[in-house]
Amino acid sequence: MVVLSRGLEERLRREAEKLNISMEELVVDILLKALNISLDLNDKVEFHLKLSEKFLREAEEFLARG
């Protein structure tokens, strides 16, 4: 878990929306560029799988609330 100020979180959210990506994808992209590293195929697959699982869980919770 990463703790962000409300202002920084909102700035990241707006930037992600402009790029039509999730905030998680934006943060990972920023970190990878800042550290000058790249993910291998297995790491990319694992990242997107975990992100998909998160979105599915959130959708199920949303539907359960009615």
Question: Which residues of the chain fall short of a pLDDT of 70?
Answer: none
pLDDT for the residue 36: 97
Domain count, the chain: 1
pLDDT on residue 28:
94
* Conformational region of residue 20, where left means phi above 0, alpha means psi within -120 to 50, and beta covers everything else: left
The domain in which residue 30 lies consists of 6-65
Model confidence, pTM:
0.78
Q: What pLDDT, on the 0 to 100 scale, is given for residue 66?
A: 82
Per the domain annotation, does 35 fall within a domain? yes
Residue 46 lies inside a defined structural domain of this protein: yes
Classify residue 1: in a domain, yes or no: no
**CA–CA separation, 55 and 51 (whole Å):** 6
